[in-house]
Structure 1
Amino acid sequence: MNPQTDTQLRPIDLAREHGLSTQAIRNYEDAGILPATVRTPTGYRAYTPLHARALRAFLALLPGHGHRTASAIMRAVNDGDVAGALRLIDESHVQLLDDRRTLQAVEGALRDLDPAGTKTRPEADTGTGTTPAPRTGPRDTFIGPLAAQLRLRPATLRTWERAGLVRPRRDPQTGYRVYDEAAVRDARLTHQLRRGGYLLEQIAPLIAQVRSAGGLEPLEAALEDWHGRLSDRGRALLAGAAALDAYLDHLDRRR
C-alpha cells in the first residue's frame, strides 16, 4: 500500500464528517484504530480515503461492540490480523446470544411464578407448631414452609440470603426469618434461574431489576425495553460488520 498515491485529506476533513475534533482523529491514529499516516514535508499528517473508511468502520463498530472491542478489532485489522479481528466479532455475537438466552430464562422464570403459591400459613422455623407464630402479613411465610414449597433445604435459602438474592426480615420477638411477598417472589425467581443453570452472581442483577421495577408487573416494560436493546445491538453488529467489510474490501483492492 502507498498512502502517498491517494488523495490527501486533512484531519479536519475526517473530523467534520462525523462531528469529531481533530484531536480525536489524531488520538485514533495513535491508538492504532486508524492506519499510520505519512507526514508532509512540513510535518503535517497526511490522511487519505483509506483513513476515512477506517474511521467509518470504527464508528460503525462502536454501538454493537463498545469502545474497547471496536478498538481491538480495528487494531487487529490494521496489523494484518484479520482472523483475530473476526474472532473478536464472533465473541460479541456469542455475548449477544448469551444475553438473549438470559432474557428468555428470566421470562420463563416469571411465567412459572405462581402468585397463589405465596399464600402459605405462617409457622415457626422449627415447623413443629409448638412455638407461637408472631404477627405476620397474609402472605408471609417462614423458612421451613418456603423451603418445602420449593423442595429445597433451608440452608439453600440461607445461602441465597447471604448472596443478597433473598431478603427476609427478622421477627423482633422470635428472631425467625419472615418471608413477605417480595421475598417469596425473589426466592421463587432465584429457584427457577438456578434450575436453568445460572450462577448466583448472574442472578443477582436480575433480582435487582425486579426489585427496582417494584414487582413483576412493572417488569414487563423493562423486559420489553430489554428486548428492544438486544435488537438494537443485533442491528448495530450488522451495521458494523458491513462497514468493516467495506474497509477490508478497500484494503484488498489496494493490495
Structure 2
Amino acid sequence: MTNNLPKISSAYQSKLISAIVSISVFFLIYLVLILASLLMIFLLGYGAIKLLSISLNYFTVFGAAGLLSVGVFVFIFLVKFIFKKTHYSTRHLIEVNRSHQPELFAIIDEIVAETSVKAPQKVFLSPDVNASVSYNSVFWSMFLPVKKNLTIGVGLINSTSIGELRSILAHEFGHFSQKSMKVGGYVNQAEKIIFETVYNNKEYENFILEFSGGNAVFKIFGLISVSFINAFQSVLKSISNFLFKNHLIKLPIFSVTKKYL
C-alpha cells in the first residue's frame, strides 16, 4: 500500500525544509536566551552574596534579594509557557470501542496492519462530515512520543461507501506514520512561546510591579526586571517576525496542525 504513494514534490520538500530550519533557528535562539537568563541568576546571585559579605543589614538584605529577583523573574518569563497546556476538547464527541462498533474497528485493524502504524489510543465519533487525528499538545510532547486519537464524523460514515471510508481513514493514518504532525507540534510550541512571551505578558509584568510595590528598593528592582523582560521580548518578537512571517505561514501543513492540535 505504501509503495503506491505519490512522490513528494520538490516545492513541498523545499517548504518543509524551510520550516524545519526556521523552527530550529527559533528554538536555538530561545535556548540562548534561557542560558542568558540563567547566567543572569548566577551573576546577580554572586553579586548578592558579595553585597551581604560587605555588611549584613536591612538595606543589603533587601538589595541582595532584589538583585536575585531580577534574574529569577526573567527566567520565569521565558519558561512560564511550559506550564500551560493545550487540550483538544472531546466534550462534543462520543468515544466508541470494539464492543460498540466491531465493523468499524475491523476496518481500522486492517488499515493498521497494512500501514504498519500504531493503532489510535481512542476512537471518537463526531457529528461532522470529516475525519481527523488529534493529541494534546504539551511542551514534553516535542521530545516524548504521544498517543494520537482518531475522530470520525458520523456524517462521513453515512455519506460514503465502505471503500471510500477506508480510503479516507487510510489518509488519516498517514498522520500516524509520517512526521508532519510532529513538525506541527514544534510549530505549535513555538507559537505558544511567542504568544506567552510577546503578546500575553502584560499580566506577568503587572504581577512583578504589584509584588515589588510595597518596598521602594523592591520597586526599583521590579522596574529593572520589567526592563530586562522587555529587552528579551523585543528579541523574540524580531526573530519570530522574521522567521515565521517570511517562511512558516505560507506552508499548507500548518493549517492542519492548528485545526487538530
TM-score normalised over the length of structure 1: 0.26
Larger Rg: 1
Question: Per residue, is there more helix in 1 or in 2?
Answer: 2
> Structure with the greater relative contact order (CA < 8 A, sep ≥ 6): 1 or 2?
2
